[in-house]
């Protein structure tokens, strides 16, 4: 599939968001009234916090060009926040007259950055809306929480996730005598996260047996970063995406040899699950990751293997 399923089927309307009916109803009413300009979405990973923020931003009138998404994991300092808040003093030009700022994983902001946000969150200009998102509500300062309209998202019931996956499988024309059982497995293993369930379904789309799917999901749970690399290579994604994934692997404790084994297992499952002639690039990946990677060289063997696939074996 050219697009990952969780990206392709990410909701763009409130009514399409799974498992959060009470929040959707309340948010629709609050946004319609335009009475609140600062929101806080909290809850488990993959349950729809950022999606809700994006949808709500559109509902208040912010066009995509006027929606700023901040990753608080890297955008943490007071200077970063000040640059944003200073830019909000004037109405945006062009098609939209509303600005929306989405702060993802906001618990990662520094204390100084939070202090700089107190007044902008409490008294935003009428054309500005703030959407704070976090998986760790306990790390958000109390004086920030009290300035926000807060919504706590819950893990989505397995039955609703199963319904979602069934509908996506129909739209993607996925087939197989074990498809229903594989969908059940993906729904159960997703831990209440529609996003994770869609990732699992995408991983298992070329798998024919429930046992294979189970092994693949177990591998994903043990080494999600390695599975991400395998998926990008199988899908033929560009070097920049692969390099970003390699940087993520570097930041973990995974060694190159364990990643190599995950990639080999993933690609082998995809090849064996193909009903038609597999694409040649799949065998090229197996060859690139076919030799044991020496220890003590960090991610260098991974970089060389991926570089060989993109730029030839002489890199």
Q: What is the DSSP string of 114-131?
A: HHHHHHHHHS--TTEEEE
Instruction: Give residues with Cβ within 8 angstroms of 251, minimum separation 6.
Output: none
Predicted local confidence at residue 30, as pLDDT: 93
Predicted local confidence at residue 42, as pLDDT: 97
Mean residue pLDDT of the chain comes to 88
pLDDT per position as a tens digit, 74-90:
777 788 889 899 888 88
**Fold held by 20-152:** Rossmann fold (3.40.50)
* Annotated domain spans of the chain: 20-152, 158-311
Predicted local confidence at residue 78, as pLDDT: 87
Predicted local confidence at residue 36, as pLDDT: 92
Indicate if the pLDDT at residue 315 is higher than 60: no
Angle formed by the axes of helices 194-203 and 179-189, nearest 10°: 140
Give burial (CB, 10 Å; 0-12/13-18/19+) of 153.
Answer: buried
- Retrieve residue 276's tokens: 């038609």
Predicted local confidence at residue 93, as pLDDT: 73
How far apart are the C-alpha atoms of 248 and 36, rounded to whole Å?
37
* pTM for the structure as a whole: 0.73
Indicate if the pLDDT at residue 197 is higher than 80: yes
User: Cβ(150)–Cβ(52) under 8 Å?
Assistant: no
């Amino acid at each position: 599939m050219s697009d990952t399923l969780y990206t392709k089927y990410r909701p763009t309307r409130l009514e399409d968001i799974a498992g959060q009916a009470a929040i959707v109803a309340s948010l629709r009413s609050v946004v319609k009234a335009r009475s609140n300009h600062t929101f806080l979405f909290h809850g488990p990973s993959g349950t729809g916090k950022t999606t809700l923020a994006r949808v709500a931003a559109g509902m208040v009138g912010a066009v995509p060009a006027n929606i700023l998404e901040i990753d608080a994991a890297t955008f943490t300092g007071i200077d970063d926040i000040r640059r944003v808040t200073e830019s909000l003093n004037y109405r945006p030009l062009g098609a939209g007259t509303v600005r929306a700022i989405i702060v993802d994983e906001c618990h990662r902001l520094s204390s100084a950055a939070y202090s700089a946000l107190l007044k902008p969150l409490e008294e935003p200009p009428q054309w500005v809306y703030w959407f704070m998102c976090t998986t760790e509500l306990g790390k958000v300062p109390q004086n920030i929480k009290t300035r926000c309209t807060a919504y706590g998202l819950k893990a989505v019931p397995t039955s609703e996730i199963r319904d979602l996956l069934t509908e996506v499988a129909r739209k993607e024309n996925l087939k197989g005598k074990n498809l229903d059982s594989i969908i059940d497995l993906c729904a159960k293993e997703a831990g209440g996260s529609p996003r994770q369930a869609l990732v699992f379904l995408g991983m298992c789309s070329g798998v024919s047996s429930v046992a294979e799917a189970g092994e693949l999901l177990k591998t994903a749970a043990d080494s999600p970063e390695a599975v991400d690399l395998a998926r990008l290579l199988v899908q033929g994604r560009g070097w920049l995406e692969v390099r970003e994934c390699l940087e993520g692997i570097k930041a973990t404790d995974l060694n190159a040899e364990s990643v190599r084994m995950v990639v080999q297992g993933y690609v082998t499952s995809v090849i064996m699950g193909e009903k038609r002639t597999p694409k040649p690039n799949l065998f090229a990946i197996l060859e690139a990751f076919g030799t044991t990677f020496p220890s003590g060289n960090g991610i260098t063997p991974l970089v060389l293997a991926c570089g060989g696939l993109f730029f030839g074996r002489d890199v």
